[in-house]
Amino acid sequence: MKRVEIAGLGFCGLDYLSILPHIPVDEKVEIIQSLVQGGGPAATAIVTAARLGARTAFIGAVGNDDRGSAIIDGLKLENVDTGNIQMKAGKESPAAFCWIEKESGKRSIAWTKGTSLPLDVSKVDPEFIKSLKLLHLDGHNTEAAIKAACIAKENGVIVSLDAGTLLPDIEKLVALADICIASESFARKYTGESDIQKAAEVLFKSGCIVAAVTSGKNGVFAVTANGTIKKDAFQVPVIDTTGAGDVFHGAFAFAYIQGWAYDYALDFASATAALKCTEFGGRTGIPSADKVFEFLQTKKVNR
């Protein structure tokens, strides 16, 4: 069996998604379409990398309930190695309840981390971490993430961070990250800079080889040792934006281990995330690499 190339460590859950005519406040609306599937920032990023063609694994924790079984089964269906997921007896698995507005694709999410977290740090396998090409983190299960990131850094494994939530000790993960890609809201709060270019520059100075700030339909701004890169978002018919950021991270991680230039890697990640948004669900529309290549060719973007 070939070794795992990319592993994600962080949050996984079960998503209950509904498309609605509008997001209600103190009223009732009829659901247009519903779906239940696995979710979570690092978990969906890893599913993306797997669907694009990488050999992947996920490290996380779930309860031994129906949700936990569904989360693991969903990852297995995507050929993600689940041997490092801790299933805890008598615990409740994480879940998210997502409402998506039909016309705009905007969404509201209410979530619970359940009772299965945190990950047992003592069970994080150092030899497995050392064997990777890239370790992707979402900031959750922070103590275990810091341990894994330290092992990775000491052994030449690239550390990628989805900086999306201001969690305790997140600054330690930012300092350990080789690739730090932050959401616009995180970047502004963490750096104190309202301008995303300046925010990306502050993140880059923490020691990254590439730092970027994603801004949804406004694209992404990145800083590397070779200079800055600004990419506009690709225009597609949007059905559902759930998971688009997670997909971007997974696609960028995949592109990075291929050795592609940052400029093309950002185009590839942006295109993958855009195509995801054309279907309902955080994972449903994640495309194959061939589909992304075809899309980029229509946009006259070449490696």
Domains of the chain by residue range:
41-93+117-298
Q: Kindly state the average pLDDT of the residues 104-114.
A: 88
DSSP E strands, the chain:
6-9, 13-20, 33-39, 56-63, 80-88, 95-101, 107-112, 134-137, 158-163, 179-183, 210-214, 220-224, 227-231
Assess whether pLDDT exceeds 70 at residue 185: yes
Which element (helix H / strand E) includes 1?
none
Q: Kindly state the average pLDDT of the residues 155-178.
A: 97
Assess whether pLDDT exceeds 70 at residue 180: yes
- What confidence tens digit (pLDDT) does each residue in 68-95 have? 999 999 999 999 999 999 999 999 999 9
SS3 254: helix
The span from the CA of 68 to the CA of 72, in Å, is 6
Using CA of residue 61, residue 94, residue 213, residue 271, what is the dihedral sign? Answer: positive
Q: Kindly state the average pLDDT of the residues 190-204.
A: 96
Whether a cis peptide bond, with omega within 30° of 0, leads into 287 is no
Q: Kindly state the average pLDDT of the residues 204-217.
A: 95
Name the average pLDDT for the chain.
96
Q: What local confidence, expressed as pLDDT, does residue 107 receive? A: 81
Q: Kindly state the average pLDDT of the residues 225-249.
A: 94
**pTM for the full model?**
0.95
Q: What local confidence, expressed as pLDDT, does residue 15 receive? A: 95
Q: Say if CB 106 and CB 129 are below 8 A apart.
A: no
Q: Say if CB 119 and CB 86 are below 8 A apart.
A: yes
The span from the CA of 5 to the CA of 257, in Å, is 8
C-beta atoms surrounding 300 within 10 Å: 6
Q: What residues are paired with 181 via a beta bridge?
A: 162, 212
Assess whether pLDDT exceeds 70 at residue 1: no
Nearest Cα residue to 200 out of 244, 135, 266: 266
Q: Which band of pLDDT confidence, cut at 50, 70 and 90, is reported for residue 104?
A: confident
- CATH architecture of the domain with residue range 41-93+117-298: 3-Layer(aba) Sandwich (3.40)
Q: Kindly state the average pLDDT of the residues 212-222.
A: 94
| Joined tokens for residue 96 | 């998210």
C-beta atoms surrounding 103 within 10 Å: 8
Nearest Cα residue to 60 out of 121, 132, 128, 147: 121
Return the higher-pLDDT residue of 125 and 109: 125
| Joined tokens for residue 111 | 């979530």
- What confidence tens digit (pLDDT) does each residue in 239-274 have? 888 899 999 999 999 999 999 999 999 999 999 999
SS3 160: strand
- What confidence tens digit (pLDDT) does each residue in 15-40 have? 999 999 999 999 999 999 999 999 99
